[in-house]
Amino acid sequence: MQKPIVPPEDCRDMTDVRHGVDTLDQALLRLLAKRFGYMDAAARIKPARGAVRDQARKDDVHAKVAAGAEALGLPAERLRAVWEELMEQSIAYEFERWDDTRG
């Protein structure tokens, strides 16, 4: 049976903190696997390789993340950097998948 995570405000030691972070990291990995599944779908659906990189879509995602971060009281600029890397890695992956599906 897995030990439940302690809410951050109730952590009493670094064991509690690390367990919470490790548990959340595993949840984030599962979400990223799903997100990359959508990159697989995009690579399959987009008719041209040039459609893989879509700056307007990146700008839209950045705006949505910034608004969501602000609503949660999180530092939008720090999360912008995280999402920039996530999107660039997603685009690189999508290019690979696009190329793989077209031989």
Q: What angle do CA 36, 40, 42 make, to 5 degrees?
A: 105
CB 101 within 8 Å of CB 62:
no
Q: In angstroms, what is the C-alpha Rg of the chain?
A: 18
What is the per-residue pLDDT for 63?
A: 98
The pTM (predicted TM-score) of the whole model is 0.91
Q: Residue ranges of the alpha helices (H) in the chain? A: 14-45, 55-71, 76-102
Output the tens digit of pLDDT for each of the chain's 103 residues: 888 999 999 999 999 999 999 999 999 999 999 999 999 999 999 999 999 999 999 999 999 999 999 999 999 999 999 999 999 999 999 999 999 999 7
Q: Where are the domains of the chain?
A: 16-102
- CATH 1.20.59.10 assigned to domain 16-102? The reply is yes
The tokens describing 62, both together, are 């950045």
pLDDT in tens, 61-80: 999 999 999 999 999 999 99
